[in-house]
């Protein structure tokens, strides 16, 4: 499976710093976006630490090659999903250690979304409201469900998707990597085929650009770099109220 990708991050028009982060390790099949919270310095720190820890975990847990076969434990289920889960949980523990070491970092946190593409199986995992989308044959589907107050209200039938897009509480997340106990990572298998296009992004894109607009941009016959540029430009056209990060991956 050949991958062609591009990534962009932008401060936006109203923020004084960029607390988003991204990581691509094509050799590992790892693609990830984080969106830090907790102030000018702490949000950036949380975002960076989570990406570092996740990358280290994925690198350290690669399946062992035995002759011409790949050794995968039969009880592992979706190995890629389990690796992403464990990596993000390890990142949560690292956040806890850093907060304990430096009190000025108290309250830092980050959302995260990650995809792992491997011969042993593909998976997507997330915490918070950073999202992953799959684009196939001109249509997109969301691979993640936001861990947010408005998404909970939509699922409960108390708020329409249209009202959720502009709700004053749309930025309230119900789950984040913050070093607290009991973190639950949501992961699932990911089925991919040639011609698919993936998008990982922070909510700086999705709070101001609708899914239909994202779909239109991803459908255009342009490369991943141009698609990223157009997505970020569109968010800034809508006021750029937050940091914006996008990774687009084409499956060839």
pTM value is 0.92
pLDDT at 162: 66
Domain count, the chain: 1
Task: Establish how many alpha carbons lie within 13 A of residue 243's alpha carbon, considering only the half-sphere containing its beta carbon.
Answer: 24
Q: Residue 234: which CATH number?
A: 3.60.40.10
Place of tokens 């861990």: 147
Query: pLDDT tens per residue, the chain (252 residues)?
Result: 899 999 999 999 999 999 999 999 999 999 999 999 976 679 999 999 999 999 999 999 998 654 544 444 443 458 999 999 999 999 999 999 999 999 999 999 999 999 999 988 999 999 999 999 999 999 999 999 999 877 777 777 777 776 667 766 667 899 999 999 999 999 999 999 999 999 999 999 999 999 999 999 999 999 999 999 999 999 999 999 999 999 999 999
Q: Which domain holds residue 56?
A: 3-251
Strands of the 244-251 sheet, one edge to the other: 3-10, 244-251, 197-201, 131-136, 139-142
Q: Which helix (H) or strand (E) holds 219?
A: helix 211-219
pLDDT at 65: 57
Bridge partners, residue 109, by sequence:
37
- How far apart (Å, rounded) are the C-alpha atoms in residues 197 and 252? 9
Nearby residues of 120 by Cβ (< 8 Å), 6 or more positions away:
63, 70, 72, 79, 80
Cβ atoms of 115 and 249 within 8 Å: the answer is: yes
């Amino acid at each position: 499976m050949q991958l062609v990708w591009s990534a962009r991050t932008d401060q936006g028009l109203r923020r004084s710093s960029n607390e988003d982060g991204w990581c691509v390790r094509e050799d590992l099949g790892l693609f990830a976006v984080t969106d830090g919270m907790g102030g000018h310095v702490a949000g950036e720190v949380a975002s960076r630490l989570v990406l570092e820890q996740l990358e280290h975990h994925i690198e350290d847990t690669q399946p062992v090659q035995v002759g011409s076969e790949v050794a995968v434990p039969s009880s592992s289920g979706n190995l890629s999903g389990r690796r992403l889960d464990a990596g993000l949980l390890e990142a949560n523990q690292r956040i806890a250690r850093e907060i304990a070491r430096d009190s000025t970092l108290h309250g830092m946190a980050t959302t995260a979304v990650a995809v792992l593409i491997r011969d042993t199986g593909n998976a997507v995992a997330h915490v918070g409201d950073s999202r992953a989308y799959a684009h196939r044959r001109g249509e997109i589907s969301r691979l993640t469900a936001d861990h947010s107050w408005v998404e909970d209200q939509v699922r409960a039938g108390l708020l329409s998707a249209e009202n959720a897009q502009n709700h004053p509480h749309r930025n309230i997340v119900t789950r984040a990597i913050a070093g607290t106990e009991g973190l639950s990572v949501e992961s699932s298998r990911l089925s991919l085929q040639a011609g698919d296009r993936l998008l990982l992004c922070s909510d700086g894109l999705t709070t101001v650009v609708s899914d239909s607009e994202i779909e239109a941009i991803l459908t255009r016959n342009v490369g991943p770099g141009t698609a990223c540029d157009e997505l970020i430009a569109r968010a800034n056209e809508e006021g750029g109220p937050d940091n914006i990060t996008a990774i687009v991956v084409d499956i060839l």
